Homo-oligomer: A and B are copies of this chain.
Amino acid sequence: MAPVLEFAILGLLQEAPMHGYELRKELTAKLGAIRAAISYGSLYPTLRRLQAAGWITEAAETPATAEEVPALTSRRGRVVYTITAEGKERFAQLIAQAGPETYDDTGFGVHFAFFARTDQATRLRILEGRRRKIEERREGLRDVLGRAAERLDAYTLELQRHGLDACEREVRWLEELIANERSGRAPTAPDSRTVGGRGDNDSPPTPGTSRTERP
* A contact residues vs B (CB 8 Å cutoff): 29-30, 32-34, 36, 104, 109, 112-116, 137, 140-141, 144, 148, 150, 152-164, 166, 169-170, 173, 177, 186-189, 193, 195-197, 206
Contact = CB atoms under 8 A, between A and B. Distances in A.
A195 B154 contact: yes
B188 A153 contact: no
B32 A116 contact: no
A28 to B, nearest CB: 9
A33 B155 contact: no
A112 B161 CA distance: 13
Contacts of A33: 141, 159-160, 162-164
Contacts of A152: 29-30
A213 to B, nearest CB: 13
Query: Which of A153, A163, A195 counts the most B-chain CB atoms under 10 A from its CB?
Result: A153
Nearest to A158: B187
A114 B154 CA distance: 10
Given A29-B148, A33-B141, A112 B155 contact: yes
10 contacts: A29-B148, A33-B159, A33-B164, A115-B155, A116-B154, A150-B193, A153-B197, A154-B189, A158-B177, A162-B170
Given A32-B144, A137-B36, A140-B32, A109 B159 contact: yes
